[in-house]
Amino acid sequence: MGKIKNVTVRLNVAGQYYITVLVESENQTLPKTSKYIGGDLGLKSLLNLSDGCKEPINHFEDKYHKKLYRWEKLRSRRFLKAQQEIVWDHHNKVLVPRQLDDFKNYQKARIMVAKYRQKIANQRLD
């Protein structure tokens, strides 16, 4: 077991928390074997190993891309509408003019875009 050196808690735009833990531990050496393995990148499968294992190519579905595209359009429209309302407030000299944070539909769309971008990134990492 190692000694914990640092812990970082981070909140991303999608509202998800990430914890990073830095641990100091001793290096463990692995025993040497006389086995060798070779690999080949291919078109039908991503990686073919000499021991017969194959790593398939990940084909991502477009379902997240379509939803991301839809939410990006909604976010853009809601942003333009919010900007119009902010300009209207300034033009009419409202005592407490609204800010972009006051428009809940825009904030919801912004969070949904961040969530779908995170899902697409997680698909690529899998």
In a domain, residue 70? The reply is yes
CB 6 within 8 A of CB 103: no
CB atoms within 10 A of CB 115: 19
Say whether pTM exceeds 0.75: no
Residue 77 belongs to some domain of the structure:
yes
Number of structural domains found in the chain: 1
Q: Which domain holds residue 112?
A: 63-125
Whether 72 is covered by a domain: the verdict is yes
pLDDT tens figures, 59-112: 777 789 999 999 999 999 999 999 999 999 999 999 999 999 999 999 999 999
Q: Would 102 be classed as within a structural domain?
A: yes
**Cα-based distances in Å from 23 to 7, 19, 27:** 9, 13, 12
Torsion, CA 117, CA 108, CA 101, CA 15, rounded to 10: -50
The closest alpha carbon to 26, from 53, 60, 3, belongs to 3
- On whether residue 109 sits in a domain, the answer given is yes
Question: Does 50 map to a domain?
Answer: no
Whether residue 58 is predicted with pLDDT greater than 90 in this model: the reply is no
